[in-house]
Structure 1
Amino acid sequence: MPAGDTPDTGVLETDVCVVGGGPAGLALALGLVRRGVRTTVLERSTGGQRELRGESLSPDSVRLLDRFGVLERLRADALTVHRLEVADAGRPVLSIDFARFPYAYRHPMEIPQPRLLAELTTAAAREPGFRLLPGRTATGLWREAGRVVGVRAAGPGGPLRVRAALTAVAEGRFGRLREEAGLPATVRPLRRDVLWLRLPRPAAWTEPAYRIRIHRDRHALVLPDANGSTVRVGFSLPKRGLRALRAAGITTLHERLRELVPELADRPEALPGDWSQTALLDIFTADVPVWHAPGAVLLGDAAHTLSPVLGQGVNHALGDAAVLAPLVAGALGDSRPGRARAVDAATAAYQRGRARAVADSHRLQCRQERVFTWSSRPAAAARRTVYRALQTSPRLRARVLEPAYFAAQRGERADRAHEEERT
């Protein structure tokens, strides 16, 4: 059945049912159908429009898109990011050219998420066995004899049950199926939230870059949009601090902008006129000790919700899909009565293969979060010293920055070196 077709009410049979048509779910579906696995994706939204739209892709994720076979078709809509720049107390303390790193894929990219989702869908729809059901919401898990055997869904055409050998839950950080699968998360709110807004790119910013501006315990992250003409600005706020900021009035936000990123405040007419032009992101992490249950598996934000620092959400979603797809395809290729055990062994192997990378990103994010909140004069001076050391020391840059942007490529290079030593 072509992508977008919706069956009548009843029972639909598939090999894998993916709940959530974001980067994790669609990348997994693409990896599965290319291996001959029938895959059905349930996505509650329509037309690729979703609430959160992570657009920043690390060099490792750019490499994965190339391996998925979709990178070349996305290049026309992508923006290549050349530098990482940090200014503290109005003074530049770090400026790193991504071209200086010794990897095949060196530059991050900005790709609008609707465009990324559309290309993953198009690529999957070229393969037999792919089915996308937009406007369908999974209302609960379908169990038999204590095992998840699919989902119950609602949407166009009425109720539907989808039977599958594996149910992959990729419905994001607020989904309910994670709890229903008996895989609870420990949610840890961080000490801040982020207020996002979009503004015109200053004409002086001719080179696409990630720009971080810090002043004592306040900071702003400025990301270039793929269109090249606008930027996304994320302001740090104390946890639950938006109410106080709004009570002070929109001009207080303008003042915060002039304090941290004065280049963006040169055009008063472009500044937000009311709070509807902003969006608040509640910052928390979710620790899920086990990502799999009999007949079910979590991936993406459902398995590990990270903070937006260093833009790791989409990157880990793609990484999860790349590891999970071949394991599941191999297990489903076993037609013996023990196939269910093989599927569960595959999902356990997937978590073992991904847990360290996710934990490393979490630790890196927590360290960076703490550095951003240093507010005393001695602490702020120490922070500037650290950034200047990163600027001057290639060894320190490799130790601190490569795990954020090149973890997978770095790991593969280390594995190759180890193999060469053994032989």
Structure 2
Amino acid sequence: MDCVIAGGGPAGAMLALLLARAGVEVTLLEKHGDFLRDFRGDTIHPSTLQVLDELGLAEEFLEIPHRKAYGMSMVTDAGDIRLASLRGLPGKYDYIAWVPQWDFLKLITSAAERYPGFRLLMNAEAHDLIREGRAVRGLRYRDGSGEHEIRADLTVAADGRHSTLRERAGLVPEELGAPMDVVWFRLPRHPSDRDDPFLRISSGRIMVAINRESYWQLAYVIPKGGFDELTGEGIDALREPVASLVPWLADRIGQIRSYDDVSVLTVVINRLHRWHRPGFVCIGDAAHAMSPVFGVGINLAVQDAVAAANLLAGSLRSGAPIPESTLHLLQKRRMLPTRVTQAAQRVFQNVVIKRALRREFDPSRLPREFDPSRLPRDLTKIPLANRMARRFVGLGIRPEHVLVRKA
């Protein structure tokens, strides 16, 4: 093959589509039998919507049931605060689309299947690299029939923040730390409930609520490593703070019967200082695990894939060797967005989330600009602040555009 990609998440699937579209022979491996895994990042931001538009997939995407969010709100004990509005964002798309990730991945892989050079292997878990001297020349994988290998000019690790291939390549990320983990669960949504997704923050407690039409997808934030303590206190240790944060959920809170009804996300922020070896490169979470803060993980992964295709498709299609210096250009281009985004996430984590999770949390001790009781009710009326927020969340740092042509 010209290219083999391990990992059928947003980074791997998008890169496979872009390469296949450009006439590259590419195999995508996904270790699961389907994409139906709940409680994943599901926000498709304007930067990714623009990429879909450039690929001619925007109309198909918008046919998928979804909700549009034109802004962001925070609910405090003192009332609602409108944090930012995406209205007026440059380009065609001024909203965030909330779509289950499995629908997004199905769209991308179905589009890739229209090209003869694309092959998707499900239930195929990559577990090792094929080497010739210093260079990587493919990978080894397992499926239901046993062990196999695929040789390729380029091997891409898009196999997530616990990347096996990254480890096999001897690449170790720098851990940047996170003060929290997240407990995901769902509760029924009633027609009389509010419509918009929101962040709920109170003294010692934080939760995110996402409207999924028939249900709420809820993320209750807990101190790092605190899940065992939470479960040791019984299920009411989760039910009671959720009902306290959002009283109109109290009538259905009993549907969380036990901790079997929840899923735990161990929050990790890290990044590689070196993304590549000869014939091998990491993208997406394999290169940089993002915090769920701002919900931009999918979009950073997609931007990595677009940048990679722009830089590499021509050489892969022609069979020309890809020097490691070209792989370094990819890393160099995507490192700035990674660093800036992670820095912003860490500031919010350490200044707001870390302090809010302390039982002795006192909003009056927060810097004035982070104290919910002293914030204006509508931050969108501060023009400079709103412009910066909407561009950062909507477009990100250095948004990528599809430059490689369709074969």
TM-score where L is the length of structure 1: 0.86
What does residue range 121-270 of structure 1 map to in structure 2 within 5 Å? 121-207=109-195, 209-225=196-212, 228-269=213-254
Shift of 1:312: 1.6
Contact 2:141 2:149 in 1 (8 A): yes
- More off after superposition, 243-252 vs 25-34: 243-252
Verify: 1:376 aligned to 2:355, yes or no: no
Give the 3-state SS of the residue equivalent to 2:176 in structure 1: strand
One-letter code aligned to 2:383: P
Residues in 2 aligned to 1:101 and 1:332: alpha-carbon distance in whole angstroms: 35
**Structure 1 stretches (4+) deviating beyond 6 angstroms?**
409-412
Offset at residue 74 of structure 1 (A): 2.2
Structure 1 residue 332 and structure 2 residue 332: aligned?
no
Select which of 13, 29, 32 maps to 2:16.
29
Q: Distance in 2 between matches of 1:16 and 1:46?
A: 22
5+ residue gaps, structure 2:
356-360, 402-407
Alpha-carbon distance in structure 2 between the residues aligned to 1:277 and 1:346: 46
Q: Structure 1 stretches of 5 or more lacking a match?
A: 1-13, 413-423
> 2:338: which partner in 1?
358
Distance in 1 between residues matched to 2:137 and 2:163, nearest whole Å:
19
Q: Structure 1 299/381 Cα, relative in aligned 2: closer, same or farther at 3 Å? A: closer
Q: Which amino acid aligns with 1:42?
A: L
Greater CA drift, 164-173 or 61-70: 61-70
Q: 1:356 to 1:250 in 2, by over 3 A?
A: same
Cα drift, residue 346 of structure 1: 2.7
Match of 1:323 in 2: 307
| Distance (Å, rounded) in 1 between the aligned partners of 2:38 and 2:193 | 29
8 A contact 2:81–2:379 mirrored in 1: no
Q: Judging changes above 3 Å, is the alpha-carbon distance between structure 1 residues 265 and 155 closer, same or farther for their aligned structure 2 residues?
A: same
Asked if the contact 2:124/2:141 (under 8 Å) is kept, the reply is yes
Give the C-alpha shift of residue 302 in structure 1: 0.3
Answering whether residue 63 of structure 2 is matched by residue 85 of structure 1, we say: no
How far does residue 381 in structure 1 lie from its aligned partner after superposition?
A: 7.8
Moved more, 352-361 or 28-37: 352-361
In structure 2, give the amino acid aligned to 1:292.
H
Contact 2:179–2:353 (CA under 8 A) maintained in structure 1: no
Residue 189 of structure 1 aligns to a residue in which SS? coil
1:113-170 alpha-carbon deviations (Å, 9 max, x no partner):
1111111111101001111111111120000021000001121332211000000000
Shift of 1:31: 0.3
Could you tell me how far 1:386 is from its partner in structure 2?
4.3
Could you tell me how far apart the structure 1 residues matched to 2:118 and 2:39 are? 25
**Change beyond 3 A, Cα 1:50–1:206:** closer
1:400 has 2:389 as partner? yes
Corresponding letter in the other structure for 2:230? L
User: 1: CA distance between counterparts of 2:69 and 2:272?
Assistant: 32
Q: Is the 8 A contact 2:187 2:253 kept in 1?
A: no
Match of residue 418 from structure 1:
none
Cα deviation digits, residues 335-372 of structure 1 (max 9, x gap) = 45xx242xx23321111211111111111111221223
| Cα separation, partners in 2 of 1:100 and 1:259, compared to 1, 3 Å | farther
Please, which of 3, 16, 31 is the counterpart of residue 3 of structure 2?
Answer: 16
**What SS class does the counterpart of residue 45 from structure 1 fall into?**
coil
Separation of aligned partners in 2, 1:247 and 1:238: 15
Deviation (angstroms), 1:180 = 1.4
In 1, Cα distance between the equivalents of 2:154 and 2:199? 42
Paired residue for 1:289? 273
Separation in structure 2 between the aligned mates of residue 219 and residue 268 of structure 1, nearest angstrom = 17
Comparing both chains, which one has the higher relative contact order based on Cα–Cα distances under 8 Å and sequence gaps of 6 or more?
2
Is the contact between residue 198 and residue 208 of structure 2 (CA under 8 Å) also seen in structure 1? yes
Looking at structure 2, the residues matched to 411 and 49 of structure 1 have their Cα atoms a distance apart, in angstroms, of 28
Q: Deviation per CA, 1:306-342, whole angstroms, max 9, x where unpaired?
A: 1111112111111111110121112224545xx242x
Render the CA deviation track for 1:227-275: whole Å, top value 9, x for unaligned.
x121211111111111222222212212101221222223345x31111
3-state SS in 2 of match to 1:184? coil
What is the match of residue 326 of structure 2? 346
Moved more, 256-265 or 14-23: 256-265
Q: Distance in 1 between matches of 2:130 and 2:84?
A: 50
C-alpha distance 317-280 of structure 1, shift in aligned 2 (>3 A): same
TM-score normalised according to structure 2 size: 0.90
Aligned position for 2:292? 308
Deviation of residue 390 (structure 1)? 2.5
For residue 249 of structure 1, give the secondary structure of its aligned residue in structure 2. Answer: coil
- Alignment coverage as a number of residue pairs: 391
Q: What percent of counterpart residues are identical?
A: 30
Over the residues paired in the alignment, what is the CA RMSD in angstroms? Answer: 2.2
The AA in structure 2 aligned to 1:393 is: I
